[in-house]
């Protein structure tokens, strides 16, 4: 395979798709059609992330192509450095699906000049749009995609495009509170979707109001929704998705899968959120096939108030052997629920339908591309989860690609206390990462219940962090349980220790490498890990950060002086009692579940604000410096393999080939060309 590529803080990886070549022709066609559907919604996400993203991408790609077509590089050195800064910026924008960093949410600062870009545009006769140039170059304009700062108006201060400019957080929250209240007071039959059939009962709860629309003002200034559907907003992209889904339906693996696809198409046509719930109910029960997919408005992390969903899509193929591991967990779901340290009132009486499998990804799209999750648990509706269960997957080939990239880069040698290094470096340690992901996804998110009458959205902007903390704590608690030995998932009762060590080290120290100096922790999963690790540092009495004298590895700045310099404040995590740490994890799990079950927003706020957000500047600087010397990219993402259908003279597909040789730039330009489904006006 060609080498990985690096730019800015990014490393691109490739993933292989084991098992693709052994699929039947029918299955290969199914994977191909679903992959096309997963790529066809790309433009939706770009527009959701910021209203300037699509025209900026098209403008930059035109400049990119013009630069690439110039035969020789300029002899002017400053011109060349502008070009290379432009290429870096282009690749960053591609990676982030827009002009804001995918993780920190901060707007990229281009290292080339506005004069350079104007000159390029003029040379190729591309119309200059002052608004776009301002969006790129003015650091005070739309500085953050998703602002989570406590106390600010989260909508007015965020650049995301889910709400028309000028709509306040209070207006939007009130709009949806009233919508829910109206639903609960009115006869439910008024809300029944047109394709409703009594054979499949409608959930009695409100659907996820707001999920698939942009909130705008009408001509009279009244708030109204513009729904994302065929013939609605994003209609041209959605029609293309429908086209490929309908092709997929013709080669579906079962009648059930065909009805899943049909219901999804009905949702895309109508935009009706009840139909969406019915679709997820069918989807979560369709577990027998080898090929599965997600396609739609799914996760709400991109909306500061967590209502509106970004578009994502991906296709996966079951990994039969690894699925056996998660089967053992999900078969025992009720045992885990019954034996957890949470208050019995917050436990599920009956755990059902938690299906878990290990899959290999065939195509990533939308909000899962190029940066992807490694485990996915859907659907997000609490009602559907409680009554029909959830589907949980570990993305095995992505995990393997990460593990391969992390091997031997010196990271653990730098940050792990020398006494713990042998545990961390064992092959077992890698397997425990997978086990943690399995526990988090297939048991953690699926566990527990809300008390009757508690609104699932009552934790507001703290909801995502608390939910991730709940799933992680569940995983951490049980990975140390003797049940793991009994189920032959770990070899002995001490195996969990490497997972505790790396998790706490990450939450306390090493995840800080993803944050710029002076910034706070923003992203929900990072806040969750900080919250857990720092709460335990303060309250468990089982671990501490100690200082050891630390010979810095030579770097270009100090090799000149000869001897390595001493760093007097190198911190290492020391865990003095693993059993005591586990006990404290159980205590925090019980509290976090209480907060979720009771909808205790104030307690959620306290916990997240106290432990999940602030950064100790001195420790942060030290970690950044130690990390910088290792020269590792803090963020990783994936280049998709390319699926190519082979047609016969009758125009029928006779085979689908898979190749791994496309470069990052080639793939991005091709996607920009072939999946440009939304016009820019």
Smallest distance, Å, CB 441 to Zn ion? Answer: 6
Smallest distance, Å, CB 351 to Zn ion? Answer: 17
DSSP state, residue 100 = B
CB closer to Zn ion out of 244 and 478: 478
Residue numbers 358-417 binding Zn ion by CB under 5 A: none
State the Cα–Cα distance between residues 641 and 272, nearest whole angstrom: 34
CB closer to Zn ion out of 92 and 528: 528
CB closer to Zn ion out of 468 and 622: 468
Per-residue binding string, Zn ion, 220-239, x by CB under 5 A, is: --------------------
Q: Which of 237, 238, 471, 604 binds Zn ion (CB under 5 A)?
A: 471
Containing 223, the helix (H) or strand (E) segment is strand 223-227
Smallest distance, Å, CB 493 to Zn ion? Answer: 26
Per-residue binding string, Zn ion, 409-448, x by CB under 5 A, is: ----------------------------------------
Answer whether 490's CB lies under 8 Å from 496's CB.
Answer: yes
Smallest distance, Å, CB 249 to Zn ion? Answer: 30
- Ranked by CB distance to Zn ion, the top (closest) residue is 471
Residue 68 has a CB neighbour count (10 Å cut-off) of: 10
Smallest distance, Å, CB 445 to Zn ion? Answer: 6
Smallest distance, Å, CB 128 to Zn ion? Answer: 44
Q: Which residues, 6 or more positions from 152, have their beta carbon under 8 angstroms from its beta carbon?
A: none
What is 409-471 written as a DSSP string?
Answer: SSHHHHHS-GGGHHHHTSHHHHHHHHHHHHIIIIIITT---PPTT--TTTTGGGHHHHHHHHH
CB closer to Zn ion out of 247 and 470: 470
Smallest distance, Å, CB 463 to Zn ion? Answer: 12
CB closer to Zn ion out of 12 and 376: 376
Smallest distance, Å, CB 478 to Zn ion? Answer: 15
Count CA atoms closer than 13 A to 506's CA, side-chain side. 16
The piece of 139-147, 470-478, 607-615, 620-628 that touches Zn ion (CB under 5 A) is 470-478
DSSP state, residue 612 = I
Q: Is 3 exposed, middle or buried (0-12, 13-18, 19+ CB in 10 A)?
A: exposed
The piece of 426-434, 467-475, 562-570, 616-624 that touches Zn ion (CB under 5 A) is 467-475
Which long-range CB contacts under 8 A does 343-352 form with residues at least 24 apart?
343/590, 343/593, 343/594, 343/597, 345/451, 345/597, 346/448, 346/449, 346/451, 346/593, 346/594, 346/596, 346/597, 347/447, 347/448, 347/449, 348/386, 348/447, 348/448, 348/449, 351/446, 351/447, 352/388, 352/389
CB closer to Zn ion out of 44 and 471: 471
Tell me if the bond preceding 113 is cis, omega within 30° of 0.
no
Phi, psi at residue 476, to the nearest 5°? -65, -40
CB closer to Zn ion out of 38 and 442: 442
Q: Is 588 exposed, middle or buried (0-12, 13-18, 19+ CB in 10 A)?
A: buried
Q: Which residues, 6 or more positions from 557, have their beta carbon under 8 angstroms from its beta carbon?
A: none
The piece of 59-67, 338-346, 471-479, 605-613 that touches Zn ion (CB under 5 A) is 471-479
CB closer to Zn ion out of 292 and 468: 468
CB closer to Zn ion out of 440 and 626: 440
Asked if residue 117 binds Zn ion (CB under 5 A), the reply is: no
State the Cα–Cα distance between residues 60 and 47, nearest whole angstrom: 16
State the Cα–Cα distance between residues 45 and 33, nearest whole angstrom: 20
CB closer to Zn ion out of 472 and 622: 472
Smallest distance, Å, CB 347 to Zn ion? Answer: 19
State the Cα–Cα distance between residues 163 and 148, nearest whole angstrom: 16
The piece of 49-57, 172-180, 231-239, 469-477 that touches Zn ion (CB under 5 A) is 469-477
The piece of 250-258, 361-369, 464-472, 646-654 that touches Zn ion (CB under 5 A) is 464-472
State the Cα–Cα distance between residues 215 and 175, nearest whole angstrom: 9
CB closer to Zn ion out of 158 and 465: 465
Smallest distance, Å, CB 286 to Zn ion? Answer: 22
* Helices first, then strands: H and E counts in the chain: 26, 14
Phi, psi at residue 421, to the nearest 5°? -60, -35
Smallest distance, Å, CB 374 to Zn ion? Answer: 10
CB closer to Zn ion out of 40 and 394: 394
The piece of 34-42, 252-260, 462-470, 605-613 that touches Zn ion (CB under 5 A) is 462-470
Phi-psi region of 221 (alpha: psi -120 to 50; beta: other; left: phi over 0): left
Binding footprint of Zn ion, residue count (CB under 5 A): 2
Smallest distance, Å, CB 470 to Zn ion? Answer: 9
Among 331, 317, 216, 417, CA closest to 656: 317
Helix 427-438 vs helix 396-406: crossing angle, to nearest 10: 140
Q: Where are the alpha helices (DSSP H) in 295-438?
A: 320-331, 333-338, 382-388, 396-406, 411-415, 421-424, 427-438
Smallest distance, Å, CB 444 to Zn ion? Answer: 7
Per-residue binding string, Zn ion, 118-157, x by CB under 5 A, is: ----------------------------------------
CB closer to Zn ion out of 351 and 471: 471
3 state SS of 41 = coil
Answer whether 543's CB lies under 8 Å from 536's CB.
Answer: yes
Smallest distance, Å, CB 471 to Zn ion? Answer: 5
CB closer to Zn ion out of 40 and 294: 294
Residue numbers 272-331 binding Zn ion by CB under 5 A: none
Residues that bind Zn ion (CB under 5 A): 468, 471
């Amino acid at each position: 395979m060609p080498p990985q590529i690096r730019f800015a803080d990014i490393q691109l990886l490739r993933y292989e798709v084991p098992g693709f070549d052994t699929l039947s022709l029918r299955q290969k066609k199914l994977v191909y059609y679903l992959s096309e559907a997963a790529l066809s919604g790309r433009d939706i996400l770009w527009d959701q992330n910021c209203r300037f993203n699509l025209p900026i991408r098209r403008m930059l790609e035109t400049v990119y192509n013009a630069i690439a077509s110039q035969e020789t590089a300029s002899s002017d050195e400053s011109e060349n450095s502008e070009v290379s800064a432009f290429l870096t910026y282009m690749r960053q924008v591609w990676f982030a699906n827009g002009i804001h960093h995918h993780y920190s949410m901060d707007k990229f600062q281009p290292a080339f000049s506005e004069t350079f870009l104007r000159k390029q545009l003029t040379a190729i006769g591309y119309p200059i749009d002052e608004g776009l140039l301002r969006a790129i170059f003015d650091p005070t304009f739309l500085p953050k995609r998703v602002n989570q700062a406590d106390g600010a108006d989260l909508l007015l201060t965020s650049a995301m495009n889910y709400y028309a400019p000028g709509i306040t957080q209070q207006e939007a929250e009130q709009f949806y509170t009233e919508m829910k209240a109206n639903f609960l007071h009115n006869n439910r039959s008024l809300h029944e979707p047109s394709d409703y059939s009594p054979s499949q009962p409608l959930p009695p709860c409100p659907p996820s109001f707001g999920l698939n629309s942009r909130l705008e003002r009408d001509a009279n200034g009244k708030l109204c929704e513009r729904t994302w559907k065929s013939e609605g907003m994003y209609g041209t992209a959605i029609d293309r998705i429908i086209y490929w889904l309908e092709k997929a339906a013709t080669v579906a693996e079962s009648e059930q899968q065909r009805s899943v696809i049909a219901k999804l198409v009905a949702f895309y046509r109508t935009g009706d959120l009840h139909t969406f719930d019915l679709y997820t109910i069918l989807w979560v029960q369709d577990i027998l096939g080898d090929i599965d997919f997600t396609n739609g408005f799914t996760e709400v992390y991109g909306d500061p108030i967590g209502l509106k969903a970004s578009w994502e899509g991906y296709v996966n193929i079951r990994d039969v052997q690894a699925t056996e591991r998660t089967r053992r967990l999900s078969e025992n779901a009720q045992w885990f629920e019954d034996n957890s340290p949470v208050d019995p009132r917050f436990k599920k009486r009956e755990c059902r339908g938690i299906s878990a499998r290990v899959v290999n990804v065939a195509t990533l799209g939308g909000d899962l591309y190029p940066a992807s999750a490694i485990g996915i648990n859907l659907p997000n509706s609490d009602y559907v989860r409680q009554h029909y269960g959830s589907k949980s997957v570990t993305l095995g080939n992505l995990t393997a690609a990460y593990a391969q990239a992390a091997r031997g880069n010196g990271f653990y040698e730098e940050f792990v206390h020398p006494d713990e290094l042998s545990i961390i470096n064992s092959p077992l340690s890698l397997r425990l990462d997978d086990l943690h992901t399995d526990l988090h996804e297939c048991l953690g998110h699926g566990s527990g219940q809300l008390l009757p009458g508690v609104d699932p959205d009552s934790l507001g902007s703290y909801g995502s962090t608390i939910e991730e903390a709940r799933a992680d704590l569940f995983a951490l608690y049980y990975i140390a349980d003797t049940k793991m030995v009994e189920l032959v998932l770990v070899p002995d009762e001490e195996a969990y220790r490497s997972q505790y060590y790396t998790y706490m080290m990450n939450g306390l120290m090493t995840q800080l490498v993803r944050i710029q100096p002076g910034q706070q922790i923003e992203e929900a999963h990072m806040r969750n890990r900080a919250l857990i690790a720092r709460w335990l540092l303060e309250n468990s009495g089982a671990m501490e950060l100690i200082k050891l004298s630390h010979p810095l590895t030579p770097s270009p700045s100090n090799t000149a002086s000869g001897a390595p310099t001493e760093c007097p404040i190198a911190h290492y995590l020391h865990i003095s009692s693993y059993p005591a740490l586990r006990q404290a994890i159980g205590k925090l799990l019980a509290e976090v579940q209480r907060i979720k079950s009771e909808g205790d927003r104030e307690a959620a706020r306290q916990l997240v604000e106290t432990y999940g957000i602030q950064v100790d500047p001195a420790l942060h600087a030290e970690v950044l410096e130690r990390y910088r010397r290792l020269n590792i990219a803090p963020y990783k993402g994936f280049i998709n393999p390319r699926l190519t259908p082979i047609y016969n003279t009758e125009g029928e597909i006779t085979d689908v080939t898979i190749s791994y040789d496309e470069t990052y730039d080639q793939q991005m330009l091709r996607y920009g060309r072939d999946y440009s489904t939304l016009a820019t006006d």
